Structure 1
């Protein structure tokens, strides 16, 4: 490492070292690091050369001092043990790190919704620059609506919400992809194992199932409401009337796993007797027996979109009121054409 101060090579170079070498202020270095448009090309080139010569790596502390920001985003995550919220939080952490921000997270579990207020107070007290709420359940978002915040706020939700900036994966499109796939391979009676109805994603996936069947002119059965667990899927499959449908669309992969288990114990083969589709594309979904056809949510893209929107709001730029990531269908061996 180049020593620009004469005090030995053990100290990490600072933004002030870069500024001295480039002959500019530390605020100019900060603007270059943040890709500010109002920097002369010759100045930008000089600063970039000084960064390379000093082997300077911007730290969140240095950026915070230079920009008068905490360089920290507060995240309130509801039901963090569930796959979707947990994956969204991890994606946010990765995307925030790439953008030079840290994440402070506050978790809310079932029956703990009243702590949302406490979470907001705790994160704001830490001095975060913006808040992101991963709010899969209606009960949590209802509490958030009564808060008066002066910080930029973003909600991770698959559909627009009045008065809030939102981003999400298109759950309705994902459900349509799953059901349309079953229809295309000949299935006309498709049972839906839905998620808990307090969850926005469960409601939207159910509506996507309904809309796909309606668009195809097919009959609707009453969906069965589950609890996201493989145990519920197993119990459902053990009891379901085998003649009720030729295919099952489960609202998540965990319930789909239980469905496959329960059907196999009854001597029903997947997909020869009944096709099964899930939602999420868990890392293990391709190793189910049989490998599961499912809808994949791109959480990395979702995290990047959320952080990009938050940083734009922190910078005072206008942001889209609602943005969505498209899902994809992963066709595997748990679905097959209906035997004639």
Structure 2
């Protein structure tokens, strides 16, 4: 049971009960190996008696770490960034850390800098950026100073993004498609760039030029908004027989819009996505997409940010074939 009244026990209360310094309590909390067993037992008994709950301020006493990782993120209403933040949280907790997340307009370096400075003021041990833009990383590197910095889906992660996008094209080519269009994400997102490169590289390897290129903002609304233009192209001479969308949400909106325009998916045009979000199998039709190991990527990035050994390999992307893709119409 904790202290009487409404006040919670503090690290000083624990130190007083155990007859040690607050630094010694912090060393117990941080599982320091250089403690006498009887001292550790006395502190642990005081923690139990007082019902003390560990907080980051207590952990940082006598150490150079708050055991907190700062995350600068953009729009968490999108599935990709939201899933990335959730995976980072799990990876950080597995490493004995916590996330402090703040949101910024990642296309605005001033907004990113302000968000990073707020996290750095809290003494975070490292910074991770989710869904970086072309202007984001330079701004963060400038403000981070000596604080370690990492980004989700860059470096090795970007290579897997390219490989995953190529899988979607290879799948369509195997089905017999030669007129494949691309529905790309925002041009200033590094993930969108990596996926564009994957699509274009696979098309080039197959001796195919993109039948058309459209751009969206990752949202289902963006996919729906260009559906009429896509439908006109599909109905035209030598129009695309397939569209490789850069994420599942845009693919969802595109499919809904194409159906509203009187086209059938996949009988008239095939559509593929990217991410394999939690709803992809329940679209109408179920969406052919690319599954990436977001959890593994998050573990890799957290380890990189903290200077820790990697906790295992990141799985390679996998093509999940479903009902939204088929052979091209005769």
TM above 0.5, one fold? yes
Task: Specify which of 254, 257, 265 is matched with residue 259 of structure 1.
Answer: 254
Tell me the CA shift for residue 309 of structure 1: 2.3
Matched, 1:113 2:103: no
Contact 1:191 1:248 in 2 (8 A): yes
Aligned to 2:290: 295
Matched, 1:87 2:83: yes
- Provide closer, same or farther for how the CA distance between residues 105 and 113 of structure 1 changes in structure 2, counting only shifts above 3 A: same
Aligned to 1:164: none
The normalised TM-score by structure 2 is: 0.78
2:285 match: secondary structure:
coil
Aligned to 1:217: 207
Matched, 1:188 2:178: yes
Matched, 1:146 2:136: no
Tell me the CA shift for residue 117 of structure 1: 2.0
Distance in 2, Cα, partners of 1:248 & 1:213: 12
Which runs of 5 or more structure 2 residues have no equivalent in the other structure? none
1:70 match: secondary structure:
coil
Contact 1:78 1:140 in 2 (8 A): no
Tell me the CA shift for residue 108 of structure 1: 0.6
Superposed CA offset, 1:74-129 (max 9, x none) = 11113333322222112112222232212111211266431222222211111111
Matched, 1:249 2:239: no
Contact 2:169 2:244 in 1 (8 A): yes
Aligned to 1:338: 328
Tell me the CA shift for residue 63 of structure 1: 4.3
Which runs of 5 or more structure 1 residues have no equivalent in the other structure? 2-6, 161-166
Give the aligned length: 308
Task: Specify which of 170, 173, 178 is matched with residue 160 of structure 2.
Answer: 170
- Provide closer, same or farther for how the CA distance between residues 289 and 302 of structure 1 changes in structure 2, counting only shifts above 3 A: same
Distance in 2, Cα, partners of 1:325 & 1:221: 31
Aligned to 1:283: 278
Superposed CA offset, 1:114-152 (max 9, x none) = 122222221111111111122421122232243351122
- Provide closer, same or farther for how the CA distance between residues 325 and 122 of structure 1 changes in structure 2, counting only shifts above 3 A: farther
Distance in 1, Cα, partners of 2:171 & 2:87: 28
Contact 2:116 2:140 in 1 (8 A): no
The normalised TM-score by structure 1 is: 0.76
2:258 match: secondary structure:
helix
Superposition RMSD in Å: 3.6
Contact 2:245 2:251 in 1 (8 A): yes
Contact 1:296 1:328 in 2 (8 A): yes
Task: Specify which of 56, 63, 66 is matched with residue 70 of structure 1.
Answer: 66
- Provide closer, same or farther for how the CA distance between residues 169 and 66 of structure 1 changes in structure 2, counting only shifts above 3 A: farther
Contact 1:170 1:324 in 2 (8 A): no
1:97 match: secondary structure:
helix
Aligned to 1:232: 222
Distance in 2, Cα, partners of 1:288 & 1:92: 27
Aligned to 2:190: 200
